[in-house]
Amino acid sequence: MKNLLILVLFTVGSWACSHAQTTQNLNAKAFKETMTKTPNKIILDVRTNSEVAQGVIAGALQIDYNNPHFEHQLEQLDKSKPIFVYCAIGGRSGSAAQLMQKKGFKKIYNLDGGINAWQRAGYPITSLKK
């Protein structure tokens, strides 16, 4: 019985470690602060071309979540780098973060409320650099 208990605890502990949360949903202030102090990061905007034309967070690259090649384009990113993902209000970026987690990305930060929350907090946007 004792061996069974040890086996169960070991199995649950191993499962918990392998399924540790790699995604954090952050409000605009925490997203900006964490992004500012994180080196070698990727800032990912998953909005459409027309949305991105209105402005992005400085340094962002765009991969449109609605593009049929979205998953393939994600595969081109460095999974070991912290990734800061956002969309307009947080829905698509939340889904993208879940997908990235399944694909093995190590650390994902999702902007809760999207770029709309970013702008409401008074943070700047800029043109997308291509």
CATH number at residue 78: 3.40.250.10
Whether 3 is covered by a domain: the verdict is: no
Strands of 1-130 (E only): list them. Answer: 23-26, 42-45, 61-62, 83-86, 108-111
Vertex 59, ends 86 and 93: CA angle to 5°? 10
The confidence score (pLDDT) of residue 16 equals 43
The pair of structure tokens assigned to 95 is: 């889904």
> What mean pLDDT is predicted for residues 32-45?
98
Whether 1 is covered by a domain: the verdict is: no
Whether 129 is covered by a domain: the verdict is: no
Whether 71 is covered by a domain: the verdict is: yes
Which domain covers residue 58, as residue numbers?
21-120
Query: What is the spatial distance between Cα 126 and Cα 55, in angstroms, rounded to a whole number?
Result: 5
What's at 24, amino acid-wise? Q
> What mean pLDDT is predicted for residues 29-46?
98
> What mean pLDDT is predicted for residues 71-93?
97
Q: List the catalytic residues.
A: 87
pTM score: 0.83
> What mean pLDDT is predicted for residues 5-19?
43
Whether 126 is covered by a domain: the verdict is: no
Whether 35 is covered by a domain: the verdict is: yes
Number of domains in the chain: 1
The confidence score (pLDDT) of residue 130 equals 64
Q: Report the relative pairing of strands 83-86 and 42-45 from DSSP bridges.
A: parallel
